[in-house]
Structure 1
């Protein structure tokens, strides 16, 4: 269990610290030239999470659990501060104090939800209170389905309007994931009666199909952007960023199915044994 705590902690930190670092970069790009304080804050968080990411790779799976527990606490503090920064930025946008900036309110909210998720994962790990499998399956899917739906909306808005076919595909993915999210919330409201193996297994299978399709769409879009074959204002790093999050969701779905049915060996353990 001690070894499991170390592996789980480092896996979460290595993935999400990179995500937080890139959020800082994207937010900085969206501020106006005169927003020097906000730009400086975004750059500050970029350096913080770059340092955390690098430090996380200095530990191995046999690291002292007490050392990792303390590292988790340090990361938790940094995540709390970037969450507060993101919520401050969202407030400024929604009260029309950053006219002309290019960060969508939904994008800022999206990044803050991911910071809140990361912070909760660190708390669960340090307290040794990961959710039971059936609860984790529903809660993780509700969270990530919303993330995927957001991604589709962002892609659709950042593609050039003349890329009509790709814009239409992004819109279709947005609608698909909105529907999957509604279904997940229905399953959530039916708890605990809905938490049967057949229902949860079908739930995971259905979501996997859509996530794979969106993942492949993101991969193709990323390749086309890198090769300058489509018109958009999507930064190449953002294209790769959303692709990696779809890959993460697929790993989580596979881990859940492996634990639920034994069909697939889990690559990621994100629930209580």
Structure 2
């Protein structure tokens, strides 16, 4: 169990610390030239999470669990600080104190939800209070389906309007994932009665098909952006960033399906 705790902690930190580092860059790119204090703070967060990412790769599955527990507390503290930074920016934008800045309010909120998810996961790992499988399946899918729906919206808005076909595809993905999210929330409100093995299996199967389609769309967009074959204001790193998050969601669905396959029907 101690090895599993270390492996899971390092996996979460290696993935999400890179995401937090990149959020710092994306937010900075959306600030105005005069937002020097915010730019400096974003740079500090970039350095903080770059250091955390580097440190996480220095540990192994054989590292003392107590050392990883202390590392989790340190990283959770950093995640809490960047969450607060993101909420501060959101407040400034929504109160019209940063006119002309280029970060969508939904994008800022989106990044803060991921920081909150990250810090909560580290707290769960350290406390040993991970959710039971049926609850985890629904809650993880509610979280990631909303993330995927947001991504589709961001892509549609950051592509040049003249890229009509890609913009339409992004809009369709946004609508599809909004519907999947509504369905997931319906399942959420029906629990525990909704948490039957057949229903959870169908839930995962359906989401898998849609996430794979979106992942492939993101991969195509990423390749086109990197080779300068389409018109957009999407940073190549952002294209790769959203692709990796879709891959992460698919890996989580895989993990859940494997776990369900070992559960005996009642």
Same fold (TM over 0.5): yes
- Quickly name the TM-score band, shorter chain normalised: over 0.9
CA distance in 2 between partners of 1:132 and 1:192 (Å): 12
- Residue 209 in structure 1 maps to residue 246 in structure 2: no
- Residue 36 in structure 1 maps to residue 36 in structure 2: yes
CA distance in 2 between partners of 1:161 and 1:261 (Å): 45
Q: Would you say how many aligned residue pairs link Structure 1 and Structure 2?
A: 263
Show structure 1 runs of 5+ residues with no match: 264-273
TM-score after normalising by structure 2: 0.98
| 2:121 matched residue in structure 1 | 121
CA distance in 2 between partners of 1:122 and 1:2 (Å): 15
CA distance in 2 between partners of 1:200 and 1:60 (Å): 34
| 1:51 matched residue in structure 2 | 51
CA distance in 2 between partners of 1:3 and 1:259 (Å): 18
CA distance in 2 between partners of 1:149 and 1:262 (Å): 31
| 1:267 matched residue in structure 2 | none
- Residue 139 in structure 1 maps to residue 142 in structure 2: no
Structure 1 stretches of 4+ moved >6 Å: none
CA distance in 1 between partners of 2:140 and 2:208 (Å): 13
- Report the 3-state secondary structure (helix = DSSP H, G, I; strand = E; otherwise coil) of the residue aligned with 1:143: helix
- Residue 14 in structure 1 maps to residue 7 in structure 2: no
| 1:4 matched residue in structure 2 | 4
Please show how residues 1-273 of structure 1 align to structure 2 within 5 Å.
1-262=1-262
CA distance in 2 between partners of 1:192 and 1:143 (Å): 18
1:220-243 CA deviation, whole Å, 9 max, x = no partner? Answer: 000000000000000000000000
| 1:271 matched residue in structure 2 | none
Show structure 2 runs of 5+ residues with no match: none
Q: Structure 1 residue 262: deviation in Å?
A: 4.2
- Report the 3-state secondary structure (helix = DSSP H, G, I; strand = E; otherwise coil) of the residue aligned with 2:62: coil
RMSD over equivalenced CA pairs, Å: 0.7
